[in-house]
Structure 1
Amino acid sequence: MTAKDVMLAWVEAFNRRDADTLVNLYHPDASNHQVAAGEPVVGRDAIIRDARGFFAAFPDSTTKLEAMHQDGEWVMIEWSGGATWRGEFAGRRPNGKTFHLRGCGFFQVVGGQIRFQRGYWDRAGWFLQLGIPVE
């Protein structure tokens, strides 16, 4: 599987909200650093916990691949997406509000698995759309 194939499979699994398939695209010791969220999430167990939590909170979440660029084992994507808040998130009860975001991600794909991921998106804009105080 090429790095580009892995990314297309990642987007497909994300849009199905299929945490099990999604996490199997990661190396067992992978690191996912969503910069706006804080510290990196390391390892498949932590990555699947985050994915399951996100999909439970936003069961209609989708992402649209706006652009993808590959340079060797690195794939860079630009994306847009959104969802409706339906489950507990950030220690808060859902309120049914929707959000739409744009962002970008950088993925290092080694041996057909995501070894490292870093994402950039607007946390303040996201939380304001959901009615969550920006801290």
Structure 2
Amino acid sequence: MTFVQLIDCKTSRLEEMDRLLDKWVEQTKGKRTATHAMVGKDHSDATHVVEIVEFPSYEEAMRNSGLPETDRIFQEMVALCEETPTFTDLDVVRDAQLNADAARRFFEVLQSEGDLSPMAGLFAEHYHDHDPANEQDIIGLDHFRREMDVWRGGFDFTMRIEDQIAEGDRVCTRWSWDATHKGEFLGIPPTGKKVSMTGTTIFRFDSHGKIAEGWWQYDRLGLMARLGALEPTEL
């Protein structure tokens, strides 16, 4: 079970504490068990600072605490604080990666049998789509929906999320796509062929949690060749 420590302290020497944390990161390289660290400053009290440190488990947190480097840095941290820091130990019972969940929801909607109206709750109205296979970027949710309908009209397909990485306002999804060519697609009449490909999509989220921009990488040229739309010499 993921474990989190909250370290609560009062200090007017935040810059020195920040440098101290950099020192701890450097000295514990290859030894520490912490996977994520974040420092927050109280919006209404600049001397109130909270450090949030994430570990894979309570046992790993205890291993990290037992490092001599961690103990030395903690003693230096105490010297920078106006009061002795307090610790709160938390077993994580829910970890909602909201942007990643929204990106996952898009791929679910895309391959569903219903219409694409749920995309309105996921995307910004002025969504900007970058697809190197298109001559121009697509601007606007309505235009993007029409682009997705072209794919849905041409293929019966399923998509599987292979990997997903979220950082800041971006979510990167590596996916696989398996389809049957059932209808006209970019001027190619239905062939009934079974085709597949893999790709990567990066979504940028705005401050309201909506998908505002997207970048796609996949082998459309290879797909067209498998549908018989290209001569071998054109590859």
Taking structure 1 as the reference length, the TM-score comes to 0.90
- Provide the C-alpha distance between the structure 1 equivalents of 2:196 and 2:120, rounded to a whole number of angstroms: 24
Q: Which amino acid aligns with 2:107?
A: V
Which ranges of structure 2 fall in alignment gaps of 5 or more residues?
1-96
Query: Is 1:93 the counterpart of 2:201 in the alignment?
Result: no
Query: Is 1:49 the counterpart of 2:153 in the alignment?
Result: no
Match of 2:209 in 1: 112
The alignment-based identity, stated in percent, is 27
Match of 1:73 in 2: 169
- Provide the C-alpha distance between the structure 2 equivalents of 1:118 and 1:125, rounded to a whole number of angstroms: 19
| Count of aligned pairs | 134
Larger Rg: 2
Query: Is 1:40 the counterpart of 2:137 in the alignment?
Result: yes
Q: Which amino acid aligns with 1:90?
A: L
Q: Deviations over 1:98-120 (max 9, x none)?
A: 21001111100122211000000
Structure 1 residue matching 2:164: 3-state secondary structure: strand
- Provide the C-alpha distance between the structure 2 equivalents of 1:23 and 1:84, rounded to a whole number of angstroms: 27
Taking structure 2 as the reference length, the TM-score comes to 0.53
Q: Which amino acid aligns with 2:186?
A: A
Deviation at 1:25, TM superposition (A): 1.6
Q: Deviations over 1:45-86 (max 9, x none)?
A: 11111111211111x211110000001110001111121111
Deviation at 1:122, TM superposition (A): 1.0
Structure 1 residue matching 2:189: 3-state secondary structure: coil
Deviation at 1:97, TM superposition (A): 1.2
**Is the Cα contact below 8 Å between 1:98 and 1:129 reproduced in 2?**
no
Query: Is 1:26 the counterpart of 2:94 in the alignment?
Result: no
**Is the Cα contact below 8 Å between 1:66 and 1:78 reproduced in 2?**
yes
RMSD: 1.8
Structure 2 residue matching 1:36: 3-state secondary structure: coil
With over 3 angstroms needed to count, the CA separation of the structure-2 counterparts of 1:23 and 1:90, relative to structure 1, is farther
With over 3 angstroms needed to count, the CA separation of the structure-2 counterparts of 1:23 and 1:41, relative to structure 1, is farther
- Provide the C-alpha distance between the structure 2 equivalents of 1:3 and 1:68, rounded to a whole number of angstroms: 11
- Provide the C-alpha distance between the structure 1 equivalents of 2:194 and 2:129, rounded to a whole number of angstroms: 25
Q: Which amino acid aligns with 2:157?
A: S
Which ranges of structure 1 fall in alignment gaps of 5 or more residues?
none
Structure 1 counterpart of 2:198, from 88, 102, 124: 102
Deviation at 1:14, TM superposition (A): 1.6
Deviation at 1:92, TM superposition (A): 2.3
With over 3 angstroms needed to count, the CA separation of the structure-2 counterparts of 1:93 and 1:24, relative to structure 1, is farther
